[in-house]
Amino acid sequence: MPDKPRVQSFTLNDDQGRPVRFTVGTDIIDYAESARAFGREDLAATDAHGRFQRRLFAFPDRKAAVLSPMVVSIGSQNGLFLIRRQDGSESTAWKLTDLGASFKTAVGSNPQVRALGVGWTDDDRITLAVSVDAGGDNAASRVFVAWNLSSKTSDWDKVPWIGCGSRENIRV
């Protein structure tokens, strides 16, 4: 990973003509790529299960004074991870949180996240939905949802997943 993130800063005028300063950096992408928090789908086998599922969502992290992205990713081993700036850090320090660890009690010791959906609002309400199975060839998918989360106040180490069950023996 580069020692310094690539950062571009510029000023634009808002609707009332007042100058607004924007700073855009690549530090989260530099972190995620070097940590291999998500896999490259273009290298996956053409018949791989879930190959064309979206595996990465970025949304606003409103916890710090400076708005940064939070990224939820299905990792290269089908885990579920959150990447966000470390608390109180104004540098390029990022934290990786395993959001899928709690699925072990529901589906077994090797949960495989197959599909992911994320939605958020401007007033900081976040919803996550995932499809998880035990990893076997005929393992049925179970759907889990967490809603009304907040980037400011939620404990992302303890996401309150709601099990929505499975439908017959269908695998997502």
Domain boundary assignment for the chain: 39-163
Mean pLDDT across the chain, nearest whole number? 80
pLDDT at position 91:
60
Say if CB 81 and CB 95 are below 8 A apart.
Answer: no
Tell me the pLDDT band of 90, cut-offs 50, 70 and 90: low
pLDDT at position 169:
77
* Residue of higher predicted confidence among 31 and 172: 172
Tell me the pLDDT band of 104, cut-offs 50, 70 and 90: confident
Rounded average pLDDT over 149-165: 93
Instruction: Sort residue 17 into left (φ over 0), alpha (ψ -120 to 50) or beta.
Output: left
pLDDT digits (tens, 9 = 90+) for 54-71: 688 989 998 887 788 899
Residue environment code for 130-144, b if the CB has 16+ CB neighbours within 10 A, otherwise e: bbbbbeeeebbbbbb
Tell me the pLDDT band of 158, cut-offs 50, 70 and 90: very high
Tell me the pLDDT band of 77, cut-offs 50, 70 and 90: confident
Is 171 a residue whose pLDDT tops 80?
A: no
pLDDT at position 35:
46
User: Rounded CA gap, 73 and 54, in Å?
Assistant: 9
Say if CB 142 and CB 172 are below 8 A apart.
Answer: no
User: Rounded CA gap, 50 and 52, in Å?
Assistant: 6
Say if CB 134 and CB 141 are below 8 A apart.
Answer: no
pLDDT at position 39:
46
